[in-house]
Structure 1
Amino acid sequence: MALSLVSLCAREVVSDHSSSPNWLSWVPRELYRALLEAAFACSRPLAVGELVQRWPERTLRVAGRRKPGQASPNRLCIQALLLAVVRGLVDQRSTLQVLDICGLQGDEGGMGDPMGGWSLTVALCSMVLQARAGAQRAQRKEGDRERKRSSALERERDLKRERGPRRGVKGFGGEDLCSSRETPGSPVSEEELIQGVRRRMEMDRKRGGAATGLGGTKSEVDEKEADCEVVVRVRADFFVNARSWERVRVALSTPGPVKLQCRDLRVEEISVASIRTLLNLLPRRGLLGIDVRYSSLGVAGLAELLPLLSTFPELNSLRLHYCNLDIRRDHLGQEDVLRDLSQGLAQLRELRRLSLTALRLPGQLRVLLSSLSQPLEILELPYLSLSPTDLAYLSCSHHASTLQQLDLSENRLDESTLPSVRRLLSQASSSLQHLSLSGCGLTDSLLGLLLPSLGGCSALKSLALALNPLSMAGLTDLVRMAARMPALRQLLYPNPLEDYQPGLPAFPSSAQLLEWPLDEATDINMTSSQLNRLLVDTGRSDLFLTCDLINYDKNLVD
């Protein structure tokens, strides 16, 4: 990727931090964006902090969708960014009001020391509490200044009264001069003295309240704190688990100059009650997706959460992974539970993505998906034990023609289900962009029957067929078909059966293919070279072939 002249100059400028006092004083606001991008790219946290602390615009968006091969921002740079936001609250040069860091998180332990989703969420909570503490210190200082001003004015008034004319002192013309509050020639009454003492005690009590920085009782203090003005709103993706849940709860429920807003919420290993509490603390606007993983929701727990999810009007993605939903074990009241789930899903008017992983709902796909009034664009159903009835419904449903991503991994396909799969691919041929059929038990003969339907998917960009028992002959037919698909950019193929050590069963499962050792005597690179040679012969240099299941990412083609 060629860098522009502005980007090259910006990298040179931020490379020397000792020169920052010189260029920060005169750099125009139009160059702040280029300088900040260069500071992130070159891992210059000091430059990041100085730029963000005096950011000249109301909105700052960092990260978002990164280009293929582009590394995630450095952890130190992200920490400098968040610290600069807090410092910018008292910097008059900063006009920042909205910070958008959605998608900023990287993979823990990746190249360049990125900050993962959990660490970033914890850091955001710390930023909120730091900003709140800074606001409280500023309020206390302002209260001290106000108290000192009040005391000075009171002392000045007392001094003027003491220096004023007294009764019995003769002025010009031989008249008695009296204070403004006294009638000439009349003494100060005892009642007036008592009122003066009471007035002075009342003033002392008010000054004592002002010393708190807020000037009132605890209830009045709490009320004023609740009305604390929000200066910066931070929009981000949250990753919450049992270790960070309490910290996130405190940060979301604490008023202060920095307020957190969530775009995508991912929760792991926390209870239904905790998830409900967390959702009640989030702003209703702006939440687009929720991802629940490894939490024992149960069918009843999911039915309890769905009405609450319907209160988020922009929610378009719901992902449930390993949440202990098993309809087969709930014999009593099973129909009522399914009805509750169906009604709850029907209330999610904007839902476009539904992911259900290992929920064990065989034969119930019609009950769940038919309640959705709007067709889905992304449907992920791995490890769902789909029955022939489920696939037959899906191929004829109103979702089939709008699907852009479909994941049927680890749902075993055979001759009885293949007609439904072919009908489904035919319905989605013009819209489907990403398809995963990994671990579906596709043999050479089954794949041969499916290839014409796969070749008809004109918009398909990525195809995953890992962990299927295919021979080298089957792989050759697959690559030849893929070369004729102009939109296809990635193909994840399985290791051929010839590459495994002897003893593999005739029809191995995906688990057996995953665990069975490859034959060391076989050159694995030979398979890759042979398949890529087929692509070269067809003139397809833009199609990427891989058998690396771990590092495969379909999003790289977008």
Structure 2
Amino acid sequence: MVLSLVSLCAKEVVSDHSSSPCWLRWVPRELYRPLLEAAFSSYRPLAVGELVQRWPERTLRVGGRRKKGQTSPNRLCIQALLLAVVRGLSDQRCALQVLDLCGLQGDEGGLGDPMGGWSLTVALCTMVVQARAAAQRAQRREGERERKRFSALEREKDVKRERGQWKRGKEPYGDEGSTDRVVEDRERMGSYGVLGEQELIKGVRRRMEMERKRETAVTGSGGSRKETEEKDVNSDVLVHVRADLFVNARSSERVRVALSTLGPLKLQCRYLRMEEISVSSIRTLLDLLPCRGLLGIDIRYSSLGVAGLAELLPLLSTFPALNSLRLHYCNLDFRRDHPGQEEALQDLSLGLSNLQELRRLSLTALRLPGQLRVLLSSLPQPLQILELPYLSLSPSDLAYLSCSHHAATLQQLDLSENHLDENTLPSIRRLLSQASSTLQHLSLSGCGLTDGLLGLLLPSLGGCWALKSLALALNPLSMAGLMDLVRMAVRMPSLRHLLYPNPLEDYQPGLPDLPSSAQLLDWPLDEATDLNMTSSQLNRVLIESGRSNLFLTCDLLNYDKDLVD
């Protein structure tokens, strides 16, 4: 990556923190962004704090999708940023109103010590509570100053009253002019009393005016009461903080407190990920989130059940921008012999029908065989991303999917660990034909594809001319079948990433004739076999075809389809 001259100069400027008092006061606002980026990349938390505390723009965005080779911001730098946001609330030089941290979190313990999603969420909640406490301390100090000022006015009024009484005692009452002066003194003392009362009720009038405006908004506006309350709360907010939140059982109470805290910082959520949380706790968190702004919900390892999810879906429909719903290992096990399951499944279908903007649906290991039509047919808009791994899809499920209104709009499809055979292959081919112009990412890992099945499927795969990544790991393919796959891949101009399985010849003896994906994952590779020979043969096909932009890998753990974007 070639750095610009501005970036190189910015790295040099932030490298010496002792010189910051000299240059910081003269920096134009246009250079704050490159200086902050240089401070992050050089791991200079003190420079990050000073720049953020004086941030000259209304919006500060840190995070988002990183470029290839770019690491997440350092943990200490993020902590310095959050502390500087709190200090900037009382700094007149800071113009910050929106802090956008969406997409910031990295992998815990990764290169450069990035801050993971859980740690970032806890730090954000702590920042919101600290800002509230700081605002309360400032309010108490301001109240103390007002009390002292009012006491000074009262003392001044008492002194002038005593002076007026002394003058009346010295001057004769029979004098007509002295009587006029007494009246003037009384009027003057009365005016001081009025001033004191005005100072006393100034805050009361202000509060009454705010209450009157709030009542007018509630009775006169057409929006819901929740939206009106959100507007009232936002009117007192100094900085809106947008982030992706990761909540589990250990942090749910802290997140609840932060979301319900009224103060100068308002925490907003773009994507909410929840793990090992009960249905009631999920409802509590969703009730505290603003109606607008939430784009996605990810629920993992929570024992929802069909009835629990059906209970949550009406609440999800109150978020108009929600376009992503992901459910992983949530114990959605449909059994016809259990009473009430049919009614719960119908409620589930009805709840999905109210998600007007849903474009991504991920269902992992939910055990709903034969029920895909009931779920997907109720969605009002066609999906763009559909992930159905470990779902035990039946032939009827795949037949419906190939003819559904979602097939022609799919950009990403994951059918991993769903067994495919001769009965389901026609449906898969029809599905790929429907999605040939839109499908960009496809995963068929662990689907039991043999050389024969793959040979029948290759023409349909080759017809997906928009495909960028293809994952076929943990399928029982021989070296001959793998070579056919690569020869097909080099003829696909858009394909950039191919995750291929280790050929059966690379494993130690003893594998069954048709091994499962679990057996292929656990079975050791043969040390006597030259594993580099497989890679060399595949790369030779790339060289002969002139495809230098196609990346081949068998590394399942480090495979990331998002790198092609």
TM-score (ref. length: structure 1): 0.91
CA separation in 1, counterparts of 2:31 and 2:54?
Answer: 13
* Deviation by residue 1:148-206 (Cα, 9 ceiling, x = unmatched): 0011110111011112245453359856956977899xxx9xxxxxxx9xx9xx99xx7
**Structure 2 counterpart of 1:357, one-letter code:** T
CA separation in 1, counterparts of 2:99 and 2:298?
Answer: 23
- Residue correspondence of structure 1 range 98-497 to structure 2 within 5 A: 98-164=98-164, 165-170=166-171, 177=178, 229-328=236-335, 331-497=338-504
CA separation in 2, counterparts of 1:183 and 1:362?
Answer: 94
CA separation in 2, counterparts of 1:105 and 1:180?
Answer: 76
CA separation in 2, counterparts of 1:302 and 1:147?
Answer: 55
Going from structure 1 to structure 2, the CA distance change for 1:215 and 1:64 (only over 3 Å counts) comes to closer
Q: Aligned-residue CA RMSD in angstroms?
A: 2.6
Quote the offset at 1:373 in angstroms: 1.6
CA separation in 2, counterparts of 1:168 and 1:503?
Answer: 120
* Deviation by residue 1:382-407 (Cα, 9 ceiling, x = unmatched): 00000000000000001001000000
CA separation in 1, counterparts of 2:279 and 2:119?
Answer: 23
Quote the offset at 1:19 in angstroms: 1.2
CA separation in 1, counterparts of 2:180 and 2:78?
Answer: 67
State the partner residue of 1:219: none
Quote the offset at 1:229 in angstroms: 1.6
8 Å CA contact 2:17–2:47 kept in 1: the answer is yes
CA separation in 2, counterparts of 1:183 and 1:493?
Answer: 100
* Deviation by residue 1:21-74 (Cα, 9 ceiling, x = unmatched): 111111111111111111111111111111111111101111111111211110
8 Å CA contact 2:306–2:341 kept in 1: the answer is no
SS of 1:328 mapped into structure 2:
coil
8 Å CA contact 2:173–2:179 kept in 1: the answer is no
**Structure 2 counterpart of 1:489, one-letter code:** R
State the partner residue of 2:227: none
CA separation in 2, counterparts of 1:129 and 1:330?
Answer: 49
SS of 2:511 mapped into structure 1:
coil
Question: Are residue 27 (structure 1) and residue 27 (structure 2) matched?
Answer: yes
Structure 1 residue ranges without an equivalent (≥5): 189-195, 217-224
8 Å CA contact 1:228–1:255 kept in 2: the answer is no
**Structure 2 counterpart of 1:135, one-letter code:** A
8 Å CA contact 1:459–1:487 kept in 2: the answer is yes
8 Å CA contact 2:73–2:114 kept in 1: the answer is yes
Going from structure 1 to structure 2, the CA distance change for 1:341 and 1:180 (only over 3 Å counts) comes to farther
8 Å CA contact 1:166–1:179 kept in 2: the answer is no
Question: Are residue 13 (structure 1) and residue 13 (structure 2) matched?
Answer: yes
Going from structure 1 to structure 2, the CA distance change for 1:180 and 1:135 (only over 3 Å counts) comes to farther
* Deviation by residue 1:328-384 (Cα, 9 ceiling, x = unmatched): 266323321221111100000000000000000100000100011210000000000
Quote the offset at 1:545 in angstroms: 0.5
Quote the offset at 1:533 in angstroms: 1.4
**Structure 1 counterpart of 2:128, one-letter code:** V
8 Å CA contact 2:336–2:342 kept in 1: the answer is no
TM-score (ref. length: structure 2): 0.90
CA separation in 2, counterparts of 1:393 and 1:455?
Answer: 23
**157-166 vs 396-405, greater mean Cα deviation:** 157-166
CA separation in 2, counterparts of 1:180 and 1:138?
Answer: 45
Going from structure 1 to structure 2, the CA distance change for 1:150 and 1:181 (only over 3 Å counts) comes to farther
SS of 1:147 mapped into structure 2:
helix
CA separation in 2, counterparts of 1:350 and 1:226?
Answer: 27
CA separation in 2, counterparts of 1:172 and 1:337?
Answer: 95
Question: Are residue 514 (structure 1) and residue 521 (structure 2) matched?
Answer: yes
State the partner residue of 1:66: 66
SS of 2:272 mapped into structure 1:
strand
State the partner residue of 1:530: 537
**232-241 vs 521-530, greater mean Cα deviation:** 521-530
SS of 1:145 mapped into structure 2:
helix
CA separation in 2, counterparts of 1:384 and 1:401?
Answer: 22
**164-173 vs 487-496, greater mean Cα deviation:** 164-173
8 Å CA contact 1:169–1:176 kept in 2: the answer is no
For these two proteins, the number of residue pairs brought into alignment is 533
8 Å CA contact 1:228–1:256 kept in 2: the answer is no
CA separation in 1, counterparts of 2:545 and 2:243?
Answer: 45
Going from structure 1 to structure 2, the CA distance change for 1:181 and 1:272 (only over 3 Å counts) comes to farther
CA separation in 2, counterparts of 1:111 and 1:128?
Answer: 28
